Structure 1
Amino acid sequence: MKLGYPRTLAAGVFGAALLAAGPAAAQDIDLPDTMMWSAYDVGSSGYTEASAVADAMMKEYGTRIRIMPSGTSIGRLLPLKTGRVQYGWLANEVYFATEAIYDFAAREWGPQDLRVLLGRPAGFGLGCAADAGIETIADVAGKRVSRIQANPSVNIKVEAMLAFAGLTWDDVEVVDVPSYGASLRGVVEGSNDCAGGVPTAGIFRELEASNRGITWPALPADQTESWERLRGVAPFFSPAVETVGAGLTEENPGHLIAYKYPMITTYAETGDQQAYDLVMAMVETFDMYKDVNAVMPRWNAETAGQIPADAPFHPGAIEALKELGVWTEAAEAWNQQRLARMEKVQATWDSAQDAALEQEISDKDWPAFWSSYRAEHLN
């Protein structure tokens, strides 16, 4: 999967799609007067992209949008759960929350009924200081690597990349940090040597321009055994050739991992019309934000509306994608399978709660109980 700057998919795709949908598509857009979104913390690519889209929508529709940044998965999802924000620009915490794993295995969480509207394909790698002498993933052994508190979305990617070379957290010097931004900032300031992140993050640009410089140890797609180890940690990643980002060009690409980030995410209970309108507003304002940075063209519907994603697509988003000529029978089949999986997880959670009640499992012991019950009943 090549994630370089799309040469053929940009404003033309959006314009053709809107013409196919008919003039009513844009006229029917009705955004709320105010909205709140959650996103990764300031300095992240997710925050930058959400800000660019919010600015476009405020100019086009007069909608006031406030973005709540957070460096933790819980910090981004909790305001979505409580209704304080309507949409989250999220990463793999979407998958973790639907599966009730990691931070979301706690009793107060459990499987979350989330839906995706759109998701930008992204490359992710281990951004390392060039002066640390790291050329391959194996060279990371013994180096200082960031691990973010309460952020399994980033940590599992780093763990998977370490597994590519047969390494674990025990083989590196772990530097625990409080947030994603602090993780990247630490490499610039010299408190660590490597941090997992998206190459377009603004702080990685700072690293590239600093005395330390930046390098991306490669995860070549043809190293089959290494990829098997990586997918043993995280099965939802695939190889990517990234040409956009700090230290990366067409002539000097990075062999990284691919996933979707950010994903515009909400709960299933969000109205179909609301979801439809936001997708169409993304389409209508595309020309206003597509040139903010080199990855923004990937928000065209033909790219951002593709499966897979970490949760099923929202029915309102699907309706919009159908009108835009993007949604296919294969996409619908995938969506139905993903919905069935989530229903099974939710039913298993309920039965585990009943079993735990009978066995008088405490809140403290619940995560271990759920992990065992889940492994036995959910495969």
Structure 2
Amino acid sequence: MTFKFTAALGAAAMALASALPATAQETELPRSMLWSTYDVGSSGYVEASAVADAFGKEFGTRVRIMPSGTSIGRLLPLKTGRVQYGWLANEVYFATEALYDFEVQEWGPQDLRIVSGRPSTFGMAIATDSGIKTIADIRGKRVPKIKANPSINIKVEAMLAFAGLTWDDVEVVEVPSYGAALRAVVDGQADVAGTTPTAATLYELEGSSRGLSWAPLPKDNAEGWDAIGNVASFFAPTTATSGAGISAENPAEIFAVRYPMITVYADSDEDEVYTFLKALDATFDIYKGATSAMPGWALAKAGTTPQDAPFHPGAIRYLKEINVWTDGDQAWNDARLARMEAVQKAWDEATETAMDQNISSADWPAFWTAQRAEKLK
């Protein structure tokens, strides 16, 4: 069942129609939706909740959110069709590339598409009372490692590499979820945690006796950034000016990433994705003040490349209508699609070879890693 809505534009807005969302046309949204997100307390959960509330106020659509602290926990409901949209992080990239949790035979390359992805930041949050000032100071300190969450763990690994450190150089604290990692710092069970600066739990840490600060990743440290690039290629230096413990007067030199990325599978209905993005755009003024990060959902920012996967055709159609999608975006999208086709081909060929050689399920991950390196040079 669908719910129809019509939003009228004023005469002044009509004069600027080419720059505004096309909300005058009758649009249909499902009466109810289910989305997966990071766990409660994460910025992704908070932002999805704000948009869900806006959809309810403007269109009468009821949205239920399924939080999970693991990559598999967020993506599996999307794969099975239980949820319609996933508000995901870098597991999108890992899933399209068949890496980490997705290198097992039950998964493999996932044909994912982006609807919209907010520019975000990510850094190493420090409990000030730990005495840590720099990444190098983290040696021997307690660092959370999250079960089944390569998206967070690889960021932490990259930040440690900035100072020549690895997981072997710290005291690893195994935790079940992203939320648990942040909670461990607040509760005194860990000294640092990799996180987005807008996670709700960080404000609790900032106001606690432990205090909050950020380990700097200076962009002029070429050796450090080369080390980061050797861990993963999708990080870039940035200066954050908003978030817990961060302001224009007290900025933080950390990562630039995309998070959350509203994600679907390639076979999702084009009209439904188009309508969803149109609704996201139409309700921007309702949710943009929910957190300091929400203005980043303006499609002039969130509807651009690069992202961790190609954009869905339904999203591209709407982005073209509002003059956001460029030739450069299309060129990037085409190249990313070609890359995903190459990964799928490599997976298929490796699967056939593994069958011929009687490679066991236990030996498959190592076999795929070697095949992937050879076929995707």
Summarize deviations over 1:224-251 as a string: whole Å, max 9, x none: 1110001100111000111111110001
Could you tell me which residue of structure 1 aligns to residue 308 of structure 2? Answer: 310
Residue 339 (structure 1) shift: 0.1
Could you tell me which residue of structure 2 aligns to residue 277 of structure 1? Answer: 275
Summarize deviations over 1:241-276 as a string: whole Å, max 9, x none: 111111100010000001000000000001111111
Mapped contact 2:21–2:278 kept (Cα < 8 A): no
Alpha-carbon distance in 1 for matches of 2:69, 2:334: 32
The match for 1:368 among 366, 369, 375 is 366
Could you tell me which residue of structure 2 aligns to residue 348 of structure 1? Answer: 346
Q: Which amino acid aligns with 1:215?
A: S
Does the C-alpha gap of structure 1 residues 119 and 18 become closer, same or farther in structure 2, counting only changes over 3 Å? farther
Mapped contact 1:17–1:325 kept (Cα < 8 A): no
2:217 is the counterpart of 1:219: yes
> What's the secondary structure of 1:360's corresponding residue?
coil
* Structure 2 residues without counterparts, runs of 5 or longer: 1-12
2:207 is the counterpart of 1:209: yes
Q: Which amino acid aligns with 1:134?
A: I
Mapped contact 1:147–1:175 kept (Cα < 8 A): yes
2:191 is the counterpart of 1:193: yes
Alpha-carbon distance in 2 for matches of 1:331, 1:115: 14
Query: 5 Å matches for 1:1-379?
Result: 19-20=17-18, 25-379=23-377
> What's the secondary structure of 2:189's corresponding residue?
coil
Q: Which amino acid aligns with 1:81?
A: K
Q: Which amino acid aligns with 2:249?
A: E
Which deviates more, 23-32 or 282-291? Answer: 23-32
Residue 29 (structure 1) shift: 2.3
Give the TM-score of the pair, scaled to structure 2.
0.95
Q: Find runs of 4+ consecutive structure 1 residues off by over 3 angstroms.
A: 15-18, 21-26
Residue 24 (structure 1) shift: 5.3
> What's the secondary structure of 1:65's corresponding residue?
strand
Does the C-alpha gap of structure 1 residues 119 and 22 become closer, same or farther in structure 2, counting only changes over 3 Å? closer
Alpha-carbon distance in 2 for matches of 1:22, 1:232: 41
Alpha-carbon distance in 2 for matches of 1:231, 1:337: 21
Which deviates more, 333-342 or 368-377? Answer: 368-377
Using CA pairs under 8 Å that are at least 6 residues apart, name the structure with larger relative contact order, 1 or 2. Answer: 1
Please provide the CA RMSD for this pair: 1.3
Alpha-carbon distance in 1 for matches of 2:79, 2:15: 33
Residue 217 (structure 1) shift: 0.7
Alpha-carbon distance in 2 for matches of 1:134, 1:16: 54
Alpha-carbon distance in 1 for matches of 2:27, 2:253: 40
Residue 324 (structure 1) shift: 1.1
Does the C-alpha gap of structure 1 residues 366 and 18 become closer, same or farther in structure 2, counting only changes over 3 Å? farther
> What's the secondary structure of 1:31's corresponding residue?
strand
Q: Which amino acid aligns with 1:361?
A: I
> What's the secondary structure of 1:85's corresponding residue?
coil
Residue 21 (structure 1) shift: 6.5
Alpha-carbon distance in 1 for matches of 2:15, 2:139: 49
Alpha-carbon distance in 1 for matches of 2:104, 2:188: 35
Alpha-carbon distance in 1 for matches of 2:15, 2:253: 32
Summarize deviations over 1:53-109 as a string: whole Å, max 9, x none: 011001111111111000000000000000000100000000000000000001010
Does the C-alpha gap of structure 1 residues 130 and 349 become closer, same or farther in structure 2, counting only changes over 3 Å? same
Alpha-carbon distance in 1 for matches of 2:264, 2:114: 6
> What's the secondary structure of 1:309's corresponding residue?
coil
Mapped contact 1:117–1:275 kept (Cα < 8 A): yes
Q: Which amino acid aligns with 2:181?
A: S
> What's the secondary structure of 2:161's corresponding residue?
helix
Mapped contact 2:23–2:282 kept (Cα < 8 A): no
Alpha-carbon distance in 2 for matches of 1:19, 1:141: 55
Summarize deviations over 1:312-352 as a string: whole Å, max 9, x none: 00011011111111100000000000000000000110000
Summarize deviations over 1:93-134 as a string: whole Å, max 9, x none: 000000000000010100000000110011100111000111
Q: Which amino acid aligns with 1:374?
A: R
> What's the secondary structure of 2:29's corresponding residue?
coil
Q: Which amino acid aligns with 1:348?
A: A
